[in-house]
A and B are shown apart, each in its own frame.
Chain A
Amino acid sequence: MNRVLFVMVWWSVVCWAPESLARPSGPRKLCDAYPDIPSCTGSIPSCYLCHNGAPAFNAFGYAVAEALWADASYTGPERYDSLLGSALSHVEGADSDGDGLANLEELELGTDPSDPLSHEVRREEPSDEPNPFYDVGVYDPRFAYKRVMNLYCGRPPTFEEVNDFVDQEDTRVALQQRLRECLSSSYWRGEGLYRLADKRVRPLKAVGFDGLIPLADYAWDYRLFSYILTDDRDARELLRADYHIDENGERVEGVIAGQAGAVIGAGGQPLEPERRAGMLTTQWFLVIHTMFSQLPRTTAAQAYRAYLGVDIAKSEGIWPVEGEPRDVDQKGVAQPTCAVCHSTIDPLSYAFAEYEGIGRLTSPFAFEYSGTYNPTRTPWGRDSVILGQPVADLPSWAAVAASSKFFQRNLTEMFWVHALGRKPLSDEMNDFLRIVESLPDDGYSANRLIERVVLTDAFGVP
């Protein structure tokens, strides 16, 4: 009898449990409803805005789901996209996490409406006796000067330099002047920016050019990264450059042969310029991420993560494409749980499939063609879609990426986090987003971007 009861309960759960509302279109639809909130400016909210881990809801997600279920016109998942907006507006005034801020306020501040510990705390005004060391509560150029010297010159200022600085008639002008000097220094060009490149290049000495098994030379990647982000160059070149930078800091056009004597054709840049897309098509980037993959999802995911600031592995940047995933390489990714992310990552990856990773084995000890273009490598190379736009090839993919607000935000966030050691707080979000928006007017200059960060209250108010 107990067994019969158990089976009945089990079937009732399976057959009548509310249908999961984990929908990959959710983040995009939320941004349609609130295009100007911080998490929709050059980004898309991650699945964790509504889920603890799909399909489980967090407090905010559950409130939205309840509003959806309560809507008589919600007859099933096919109505999800069209009704999500009204469900969201229904819970705008509610405070799902009980932290005193309404859900809409939290979305507009950039805090988490499902986390009671994530909310804005108004800072008190400084009180007590005047502080002779720092102008607490207002922008203090002397304080900012010390930060500039440490962060961008790689050393603290000397006693004489500090005294000279405070004696300047206009310390803000002097601060900007010193910043420009630091951003031209060998420290910034050869070390500061190189460390910012680390997680984008992902070097590995063992298979680097001077490693045990040299597959490619990542020194090209570091030089290109640093070159583009100095001297007011257009940072979009990170994804569009069709040139490289040699050891002397000079531009090199055209195909670059592998190092003389290298057994496996490594050390150069074998791509024809018209097939290049800056950092995304260096021999190292293709070798280390694509390796032998027919559909290089890892390569696309790293490009998406490193240059657009959205990490598919963290359920970020979900922008599903109708009809995807087609599961072109028969990996089983069309299953519903896999399709949530693969409807975005697979179409992102097709354009990378026309490029070799670790090349073909041409002798027992020699891989050749690593990082080369091969249009016949797979039949899907021209089917890519990025940020909702179909693209014919990787340079087009990169052009869409480079002109996106995602790129602007990611670049801004890279330098913001470097300067302050953390992402912008809710009361700094307006300043942060202003810098994101100013990038086109500044010619996509990293130097101008950094200068704007340095002049924020977040940087210069002790």
Chain B
Amino acid sequence: MNKDTDVSQYRKITGIRTGGISLLSGRYRLYAGNDHFLQVRKMPYSETYRRFFFSDIQAISLSRTNSGFFTAGILCFLAAYFGLLAILGYVLPYMEVLIYIGGICCGISLVILMVHVALGPTCKCHVYTAVQREPLMALARINQAKRTVALMEAAIREAQGPLDVVDAEAGPGRILRPAAHRRADNGSVRRPTAAQVRREMTVFFWLLVFNGVIPILGLVGLPGMLGLSWVLYGLTCVCIIVMETRQIRVALTRRLTNLALMGTLCLLGALVMDVTFKVILSFAQAMLPWGLQGALSLGFSTALLIVSVRGLATFSREKRLPPPAPQAIPASAAEAEPVAEQQ
């Protein structure tokens, strides 16, 4: 850092937050200075800084996300998966090594899961200034974020003074600083059309239904189901890639997003279990008792069927419902909008 900077002014206001895979997305930390907040992003061999001056911050938004719920789901799956591996190592001949590998990995997954649950739900936070909308990546947990935002709020209100709501209400209605946010948002997200969403989601949930039904038919003894299930896996993966490419997720309600994610996780879980058991059993040259294999297959198929049927039902119900009413813009505000944009 250069000599002009007085680093003693900074105090940590958040812990280190790892954004996804640490090596790729960096680690974040938020500091409070005399007149600004500093967000430091630490990459393996570099650091980048974002400063938010108290006098420039117009708003801070905070929303709870459900990514923590899915992370917990994945960790539960991993713990169960490695636990099963350990059991397999115990049951199958010459596979004692699986007991240690599965046991250690299961233990690690459980510890991570406990820490994850103890940290609480996840959230997203953004800072608004006149020219930008910037994510506060250092704030990832809602409890910690609420504390930090309260701290930030106090510092900002001290620097800017209180928001004069009485004047704002008495004055002519207008929209404050609309142009900057509109530019930032429209550039980053291309919204899918309603027809695209309807088509993609219907295909996705029907594929999930078939992914649930086919293994059950295979268990009953119908021939050719194994090949068909692999074809269905492939088709579903293609469908998921197409949906992600078109950013279908941004146009879905929370319930549908959750169901789609749960369906994807169930499918991936079934796939991983299937492949692992096939590989291990071929190495051990042994067969699992039909009951265990059948129970696992039936469990995943049932989960897939429940998720897909609920998804289709929710989707058809939402299709029948009228679209959400657009937020009413007061006439006086709408008139004042072009003026505000010119600024």
Indicate, yes or no, whether A interacts with B.
no
Give chain A's interface residues, CB within 8 Å of chain B: none
